Structure 1
Amino acid sequence: KMSFAVFSYEGLVHAVSGAMGSVTAMTVFFPLDSARLRLQVDENRRAKSTPAILAEIIKEEGLSAMYRGWFPVICSLCCSNFVYFYCFHSLKAGWLKGKQSTASTDLVVGFAAGVINVLLTTPLWVVNTRLKLQGSKFRNAHIRPTNYSGILDSFAQIVRGEGVGALWNGTLPSLLLVLNPAIQFMIYEGLKRQMRRGLLRELSSVEVFIIGAVAKAVSTIATYPLQTVQSILRFGQFSESAVESKLRSSLRTIKCLLVNRVRTYGMLGLFKGLEAKLLQTVLTAALMFLLYENIASCTFRVMGLSSKQHKRH
């Protein structure tokens, strides 16, 4: 029965719906993510309001800089969300076997799905971080320029110059960061259950958008310092004085990067770029959940399945 739940057509519908929703939402709000990543990685760039950062980048590098690295990000996001949604809903279906879910179940299943997702898709995120920042005008003079011609060339150059292990740079903070989607899904599913209680109708688009935004805002603020460390490690050009290269994937590396940032910029340095991240990630997640719910619901209707099967999740 468990194998049937893990390899079900229903799980595939959730995975495709989640992937399509996330790709569309990320495309709409992509410039906000560009601003966030630039603030996290370029330590000498002064934190300003998100519109000011976007205007600065457009002035220095042109309008196309806002969508630099869009294709590899979309590829990574599509794969990542497909894996996450498939694992989350399939593992949950296998565990619950038709029973009502709880917040603790959502958290545990979300964590397990996140670990599988990180181990499978980290190389894609390492490559897309490099491609997204290639050609950027940095304030930090120590950042070395790169010359990747595309996704496959990035893989080849990283493996040749830094070793296969470099493709999993930032895996440890990424594994710790599986708490982010786990918390997000726990809050989202919990709020959805609360709002549906006593209702004889589906949640409206506005309601889905709001609970998606709230869930992502809470999970982002709780884990943002680790997201900054993750971006620095994936970029692969952190200062040698801040951390020894042989300790890149250890807890000591994360501690050194966090401590160094606090010493240099104070506690607020851990949250540099948070405004842009919140704007991008909250709006993207809200739109993604809205699209996901509608695509999944529509697909189940077309397949002739009762909405009750979709609601159970």
Structure 2
Amino acid sequence: FHHGHGFSYRFFVFGSVTAMTVFFPLDTARLRLQVDDKRKAKSTPAILAEIIKEEGLLAPYRGWFPVICSLCCSNFVYFYCFHSLKAMWLQGQKSTPGKDLIIGIAAGVVNVLVTTPLWVVNTRLKLQGAKFRNEDIEPTHYRGIVDALVQIVQNEGVGALWNGTCPSLLLVLNPGIQFMIYETLKRHLRGGVHRELSSLEVFAIGAIAKAVATTVTYPLQTVQSILRFGQHRQPTEQSKLQSSLRSVMYLIINRVRRSGILGLFKGLEAKLLQTVLTAALMFLLYEKIAAATFRVMGIKRPLTSR
């Protein structure tokens, strides 16, 4: 990375880790509702209160360390791929939003293929020791990231480390949907006049775009969590790709049959809260860091960014 990319990466990692840590309990609530199909969907505070009452005060932060490790690895792989692919494709030419989107999707695919084993492990570790409403769920006994990797390979085979890859690859389209909605809202907000948007306007349309993209792709996130948890037995008579696609369709249809369409969206409230609050925190951090940097460097901040 050159200095600009290095700074972007460091800020992105710092912002991601901070936001994930602050709003980690929301992610815990979301995951419990997705995986435990017999847990009733209540408000997010009620779910968290239930978890604390049954499992202790620190239960909402169970699995924090492996998630942070996975997040840092994932961010590094994504940034490294994105900038490497960009340098190879553009070769000094000017970038465009369309090219950035294609490169972003390609980097996302590489990221999924490389880091899925880590996300499978941290899903298991986050749910270990949980009090499930569904009694069919078998408890696991992993001592940490490495032990979980070893046990999964021994008991379920190497392929189990890539459980949920199919929905994860489809979810790479999430930023594409977000980008499309963001650009559409931006055009409407400008009303045909070329003007710089205020920080508040940028944040608002960014949050709306992210919320819509998250809602549209949420059923896939639910399937992804169930597959990573590994309690769903996949059919093995077809090829891997057929088997993965069948598992995705089976889980979606099964969830709808048992809980209706809303069953696919269990935990969405916690996910949207986390998404919007994370965006707000990242935006606030960015504004504060940018302002402090300009101040330290003795440069007057451009008015267009306000």
TM > 0.5? yes
Bigger RCO of structures 1 and 2 (CA < 8 A, at least 6 apart): 1
Which structure 2 residue ranges, 5 or more long, are not aligned? none
CA displacement at 1:71 relative to structure 2: 0.6
Cα 1:302–1:245 change in 2 (3 A) is farther
Q: Which letter maps to 1:26?
A: M
Q: Which letter maps to 1:266?
A: G
Structure 1 residue aligned with 2:9, among 6, 10, 15? 15
Structure 2 residue aligned with 1:155, among 149, 163, 183? 149
CA displacement at 1:138 relative to structure 2: 0.2
CA displacement at 1:293 relative to structure 2: 6.6
Q: What is the rounded CA distance, in whole Å, between the counterparts of 1:14 and 1:68 in structure 2?
A: 29
CA displacement at 1:166 relative to structure 2: 1.0
CA displacement at 1:89 relative to structure 2: 5.3
Aligned to 1:3: none
Aligned to 1:42: 36
Decide whether the 8 Å contact of 1:45 with 1:138 is kept in 2.
Answer: yes
Correspondence 1:27 to 2:18: no
Structure 2 residue aligned with 1:271, among 240, 265, 275? 265
Correspondence 1:175 to 2:175: no
Q: What is the rounded CA distance, in whole Å, between the counterparts of 2:237 and 2:301 in structure 1?
A: 52
Q: What is the rounded CA distance, in whole Å, between the counterparts of 2:48 and 2:217 in structure 1?
A: 24
- TM-score after normalising by structure 2: 0.83
Q: What is the rounded CA distance, in whole Å, between the counterparts of 2:41 and 2:102 in structure 1?
A: 36
Q: What is the rounded CA distance, in whole Å, between the counterparts of 2:134 and 2:78 in structure 1?
A: 35
The secondary structure found in structure 2 opposite 1:105 is helix
Decide whether the 8 Å contact of 1:300 with 1:306 is kept in 2.
Answer: yes
Decide whether the 8 Å contact of 1:114 with 1:182 is kept in 2.
Answer: no
Which structure 1 residue ranges, 5 or more long, are not aligned? 1-6
Aligned to 2:213: 219
Aligned residues: 296
Q: What is the rounded CA distance, in whole Å, between the counterparts of 1:161 and 1:207 in structure 2?
A: 51
Decide whether the 8 Å contact of 1:80 with 1:117 is kept in 2.
Answer: yes
Q: Which letter maps to 1:77?
A: L
Q: What is the rounded CA distance, in whole Å, between the counterparts of 1:298 and 1:246 in structure 2?
A: 59
Correspondence 1:124 to 2:121: no
Aligned to 2:278: 284
- TM-score after normalising by structure 1: 0.82
Cα 1:129–1:300 change in 2 (3 A) is farther
Aligned to 2:133: 139
Q: What is the rounded CA distance, in whole Å, between the counterparts of 1:158 and 1:306 in structure 2?
A: 55
Correspondence 1:109 to 2:103: yes
Cα 1:117–1:306 change in 2 (3 A) is farther
Q: What is the rounded CA distance, in whole Å, between the counterparts of 2:79 and 2:287 in structure 1?
A: 12
CA displacement at 1:35 relative to structure 2: 0.3
CA displacement at 1:9 relative to structure 2: 3.6
Aligned to 1:55: 49
CA RMSD of aligned residues (A): 3.3
Cα 1:292–1:153 change in 2 (3 A) is farther
Cα 1:120–1:297 change in 2 (3 A) is farther
CA displacement at 1:100 relative to structure 2: 6.2
CA displacement at 1:253 relative to structure 2: 1.1
Q: What is the rounded CA distance, in whole Å, between the counterparts of 1:82 and 1:295 in structure 2?
A: 21
The secondary structure found in structure 1 opposite 2:71 is helix
1:249-276, CA deviations, whole angstroms, 9 ceiling, x for partnerless residues?
A: 5211111111111111111111111111
Aligned residue runs from structure 1 range 169-248, under 5 A? 169-185=163-179, 187=181, 198-199=195-196, 204=199, 206-207=200-201, 209-238=203-232, 240=233, 243-244=234-235
Q: What is the rounded CA distance, in whole Å, between the counterparts of 1:306 and 1:96 in structure 2?
A: 33
CA displacement at 1:60 relative to structure 2: 0.6
Structure 2 residue aligned with 1:82, among 73, 76, 86? 76
Cα 1:250–1:28 change in 2 (3 A) is same
Cα 1:189–1:293 change in 2 (3 A) is farther
CA displacement at 1:291 relative to structure 2: 3.3
Q: What is the rounded CA distance, in whole Å, between the counterparts of 1:288 and 1:304 in structure 2?
A: 24
Q: What is the rounded CA distance, in whole Å, between the counterparts of 2:293 and 2:103 in structure 1?
A: 24
